[in-house]
Structure 1
């Protein structure tokens, strides 16, 4: 089968990371895959090409209101003649599924990569668009449940397929007398890094250090807050890196404080490295982080709770943290390997297309 996987962008991001994990072992793939982006390309585009995959970058303004994108995607589909079109992310779902339906594609699959914050109007729009799809994949049970709850899809149309997680590269742990805490992700309001910084300052961590890996629109504000709280000597902003594992490898604790996460891939990556995780109890995270067993959870709107959890964890014996990290590794190794994802997604394609 020829399968077109269409998304909004092919640069950096969660969907791009899924594609890169999926294709890191091309010898395991049974079908012919073509990748495309409505908007611009970049890092993921280059890596996919290096791995021998056909990639198409349409370089269009990708907002949903740009209805002309439907025609552009339609032309691409008619040229490629795929058996399956699998779209992912809001703009690609909207334009791609309509185009695939108009082009007469037999099997159409959409994928919701997060918890959508749709207005009532947007819900009505996607409710109609999703009728063109044979199935809608949610990257967690939480995502599927949300789509059903807001009535964008019936339960029978939803399918849960967890993201693949590439094994992060383990680097030697640098010697440090401090308790090392690491956050990896975008510096945007939804990631709630301000609450993390305030909780870290409130915990009065004399022998702890926080590394914030990533970049975004909130960086200047967060650096100013760090200085205002007189924590600049204990908080380091690294900026963006394509290899966050070199910072993760030094961590005694990984924290993901987001207000919303469809899956929580950064937490899963830390768990693959046997690093204990402290995460907000939102989206798909509680589906693999179990409180007090292989990690800890907190309410992202409750700074006091995060402060308390941080203080408690930093005081724990190293052997306790080691055990939690090992249990986390066991959990993600059973659920999120690239091999398991390939088996799940290719079986799903085969079943739908030949049903």
Structure 2
């Protein structure tokens, strides 16, 4: 058993944070957490012993041209975080740092370079990283100071290998599904969707998740059958993009409902009233919403993107459409699927979850990786 510092610098609670919770609550290792001072993050990690980062930093400075002043601010904030890591490690005899989200590799490796060359660093990369970006170049450069990378899918593993990370330093650990069945009704929603075929979009409102294509599919389906209605639920990460899709829905008179900042129990309520989850992402390493839908007996129809094909066997446990498939062809295909008998598909999907995406498996694999780094 090791003392491990769990590092999560994000100021939001997103997929990487949510899927970390089962391991945090059940690992054999002794944990100390260092997480964002943001209220949402503090509440999420409140039941685990830990500390809060005194200053937040924003990883997008790695990608954006913010001038000398912006870059200096970024490095200073990360050096301060490394200094705080140093104090925690000195007081708790920590042997390894688990950098939970993609951007967390940076303060973790800064700590190693400045203070302690013997510390073991595990970097959990949850994103597909463009090869020609500054972030990719920094990860490649700091690779020598990172002992092991964890990825949620083979798609992300291959992406890291393309950047230049050796295959023997990358372990695939699939995300597990949140098995909470707590449901909190959303007032008035049941009345709005009565006698409708409910299509779900669950994910952040940004370009990557591509809600605009979801709306285009709903619009095309409405021309076939006016019983279709789309429910979109997510976190507003890009205000401009959010306003764009709201306006698109209004201008085109699309049967749609927009929700944001829902609790886990409210998301579960959406699964209880939804007929099918549609994933339209431009990029998605291993979308947890697919696991949630399959676990909650909701049919999945997804764009064939990144790690999705590791989750869905087309026509057996869900359905895939080609990355560049025409919207109207997608709508025709989807209309046929929804009006077919999908009981066997739903059963197969649930079996796949129980076999490949359980909390027990994820916890064991991460613990084994930490044990391996003697």
TM-score (norm. length: structure 1): 0.89
1:127 aligned partner: 140
Structure 2 counterpart SS, 1:189: coil
Q: CA offset at residue 300 of structure 1?
A: 4.1
Give distance in 2, aligned partners of 1:171 and 1:294: 25
8 Å contact from structure 1 (residues 7, 89) kept in 2: yes
Q: Contact (CA 8 Å) 1:11, 1:42: kept in 2 or not? A: no
CA-atom RMSD, angstroms? 2.2
> Aligned pair 1:228/2:236, yes or no?
no
Q: 1:170 to 1:291 in 2, by over 3 A?
A: farther
Q: Match of 2:156? A: 143
The equivalent of 2:41 in structure 1 is 44
Distance 1:226 1:74, change over 3 A: closer
Within 2, Cα distance between the matches of 1:165 and 1:22?
Answer: 12
User: Does the alignment pair 1:117 with 2:140?
Assistant: no
Pair 346,177 (structure 1): closer, same or farther in 2 beyond 3 Å:
same
Distance 1:85 1:257 in 2: 34
What per-residue deviation string (whole Å, max 9, x for no partner) do you get for residues 109-149 of structure 1? 11110111242544332211121111111111110011102
Count of aligned residue pairs for this structure pair: 342
**Does 2:335 align with 1:311?**
yes
**Aligned match of 1:287 in 296, 300, 310?**
310
Distance 1:11 1:294, change over 3 A: same
- What's the secondary structure of 2:283's corresponding residue? coil
Taking a change above 3 Å as real, the CA distance of residues 188 and 300 of structure 1, as seen in their structure-2 partners, is farther
> Is 2:43 the partner of 1:55?
no
Asked whether 1:322 is paired with 2:343, we answer: yes
* CA–CA separation in structure 2 for the residues paired with 1:172 and 1:40: 27
Partner of 1:195: 213
SS in 2 for 1:339: helix
**1:173-210 CA deviation, whole Å, 9 max, x = no partner?**
96942211111111111111111111221122322221
TM-score (norm 2): 0.85
Match for residue 164 of structure 1? Answer: 176
Counterpart-to-counterpart distance in 2, 1:126 and 1:172: 41
Residue 278 of structure 2 aligns to a residue in which SS? strand
Structure 1 window deviating more from structure 2 (234-243 vs 71-80): it is: 71-80
Distance 1:106 1:333, change over 3 A: same
Q: List runs of 5+ in structure 2 lacking aligned partners.
A: 63-70
Listed one character per residue, the Cα deviations across residues 250-282 of structure 1 (whole Å, up to 9, x for unaligned) are 111111110111110011111110111011211
The aligned counterpart of 1:331 is 352
